[in-house]
C-alpha cells in the first residue's frame, strides 16, 4: 500500500493540472485558448498551473506568430508523459 | 473516501481525453435526418427516371442530357438539405452541452473528411462529363466510406464501421452497375438512419 501511494504524483493531485495533462497527452499540441475552452478555466488559473507543470519539466511550449498575434502551443514532454502514465498506473493499482 | 476521489479522477481524465481529441457533438438526429432526406431524394429520382419506361419490362433507361441535368440538380438539392439538417441538429446538441460547434476538433474532423470526399466528388464529375454514368454510384459510396474511415479517429468510433460498410456497398454496386440508385438509397438513406438511431441511443442528441 505504501509503495502505491509513493507512485502517486503530487503534481497531478490538482484537478486543473490533471486536466491539462489529459488533454495534452492525446493531442500533439494545444494552444492556450484551446486548453482554456476544453478545461473551462480562467486565464490566470490556467497560466499558473501551466507554469507549475513547466517547472516540473512535464510541459513545454513554443511561441509562434499567427497573423502577427502571438500564439503559444503547449505539449507534454517525454518525462511528463512518463510521469503521468505512472500516476495513472498507481491509481489503477490503488483501485484494484 | 480516497477511492471515490480517484475513481472520479479517472472518469474525468477519460472525459477530457475524449473531449479534447474528438468532435463529440455529432448528433444521431443528424444521421436520421440526412438518411430520410436521401431516401426521399432517391424516390423522386426513381419516379423521374422510370416514369416512362414499361413497368413490367426491363428497366432499360436512356438518360437524355436534360434528364441528367435535372438529376444533377436534384442531387445537389438533396446534398445541401441533408448537410444543413446535419449541421442544424449537431449545433443544437453542441448548444445543449455548452460546447462550441466550431473548434479545433471540428476543424480536424472536417479536413480529414474532405480530402477523400472532394477527391471522390471531382472524380465523379470527370466521369460524368465523359458519360460514364453507371460508375458514379460506386465511386461516391466508396469515397464517402473512405472519408468516414479517415475522419473516424476524430469523432465517435462508430463512424469507422459505417465507413467500412459504405466501402463494401460501393464495391458491390460496382459489380451490379445499373442498380446505382438502389445502392445509393441503402448507403446514404438506410445506413444513415440506422447509424443515427444507434448514435442517438448511445450518446443522446
pLDDT values of chain B reduced to their tens digit, one per residue, 205 residues? 577 888 888 888 988 998 888 888 889 999 999 999 999 999 999 888 776 555 555 555 667 778 888 888 999 999 999 999 999 999 999 888 877 788 778 888 999 999 999 999 999 999 988 988 889 999 999 999 999 999 998 999 899 999 999 999 999 999 998 888 999 999 999 999 999 999 999 987 6
* B 74-93: CB under 8 A from A: none
Contact with chain A for residue B50, Cβ under 8 A = no
The reported pTM is: 0.80
Contact with chain A for residue B13, Cβ under 8 A = yes
Which burial class, exposed, middle or buried, applies to B30 when counting CB atoms under 10 A from its CB (0-12, 13-18, 19+)?
A: buried
Query: Chain B residues with CB inside 8 Å of A18's CB?
Result: 9, 12-13
Q: How many CB pairs under 8 A join A and B?
A: 45
Q: Could you report the predicted ipTM of this complex, rounded to two decimals?
A: 0.83
* B149, three cell numbers: 474511415
Q: Which residue of B has its CA nearest to A21?
A: B13
Helix, strand or coil, per DSSP, at residue A12 = helix
Closest among B73, B69, B43, B49 to B61, alpha carbons compared: B49
Interchain CB distance below 8 Å, A26 and B9: no
Q: Are A39 and B33 in contact (CB under 8 A)?
A: no
Cα dist. B100→A27, B88, B94, B97 in Å? 18, 13, 6, 9
Cα dist. B44→A17, B51, B82 in Å? 56, 10, 15
Q: B8, B10, B13, B99: best mutation site toward chain A, by most A Cβ within 10 Å?
A: B13
Phi, psi of A63 (to 5 degrees): -100, 135
Q: Which residue of B has its CA nearest to A90?
A: B6
* A55, three cell numbers: 517547472
Interchain CB distance below 8 Å, B104 and A39: no
* B201, three cell numbers: 441511443
What CA–CA distance (Å, rounded) separates B196 from B205?
10
Q: How many residues are listed for chain A in this entry? A: 96
Q: How many CB atoms lie within 10 A of CB B14?
A: 11
Amino acid at each position: 500500500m505504501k509503495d502505491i501511494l509513493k507512485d502517486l504524483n503530487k503534481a497531478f493531485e490538482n484537478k486543473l493540472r490533471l486536466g491539462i495533462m489529459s488533454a495534452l497527452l492525446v493531442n500533439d499540441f494545444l494552444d492556450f485558448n484551446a486548453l482554456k475552452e476544453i478545461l473551462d478555466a480562467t486565464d490566470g488559473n490556467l497560466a499558473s498551473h501551466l507554469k507549475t507543470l513547466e517547472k516540473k519539466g512535464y510541459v513545454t511550449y513554443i511561441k509562434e506568430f499567427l497573423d502577427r498575434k502571438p500564439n503559444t502551443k503547449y505539449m507534454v514532454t517525454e518525462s511528463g508523459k512518463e510521469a503521468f502514465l505512472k500516476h495513472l498506473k498507481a491509481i489503477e493499482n490503488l483501485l484494484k | 473516501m480516497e477511492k471515490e476521489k480517484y475513481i472520479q479522477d479517472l472518469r474525468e481524465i477519460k472525459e477530457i481525453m475524449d473531449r479534447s481529441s474528438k468532435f463529440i457533438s455529432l448528433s444521431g438526429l443528424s444521421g436520421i435526418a440526412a438518411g430520410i432526406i436521401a431516401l426521399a431524394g432517391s424516390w423522386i429520382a426513381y419516379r423521374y427516371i422510370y416514369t416512362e419506361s414499361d413497368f413490367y419490362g426491363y428497366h432499360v433507361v436512356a438518360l437524355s442530357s436534360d434528364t441528367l441535368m435535372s438529376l444533377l440538380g436534384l442531387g445537389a438539392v438533396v446534398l445541401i438539405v441533408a448537410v444543413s439538417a446535419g449541421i442544424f441538429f449537431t449545433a443544437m446538441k453542441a448548444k445543449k452541452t455548452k460546447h462550441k460547434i466550431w473548434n479545433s476538433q471540428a476543424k480536424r474532423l472536417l479536413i480529414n473528411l474532405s480530402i477523400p470526399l472532394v477527391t471522390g466528388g471531382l472524380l465523379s464529375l470527370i466521369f460524368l462529363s465523359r458519360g460514364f454514368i453507371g460508375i458514379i454510384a460506386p465511386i461516391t459510396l466508396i469515397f464517402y466510406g473512405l472519408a468516414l474511415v479517415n475522419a473516424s479517429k476524430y469523432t465517435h468510433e462508430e463512424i469507422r464501421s459505417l465507413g467500412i460498410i459504405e466501402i463494401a456497398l460501393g464495391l458491390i454496386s460496382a459489380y451490379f452497375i445499373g442498380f446505382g440508385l438502389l445502392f445509393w438509397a441503402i448507403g446514404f438513406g438506410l445506413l444513415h438512419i440506422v447509424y443515427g438511431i444507434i448514435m442517438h441511443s448511445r450518446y443522446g442528441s
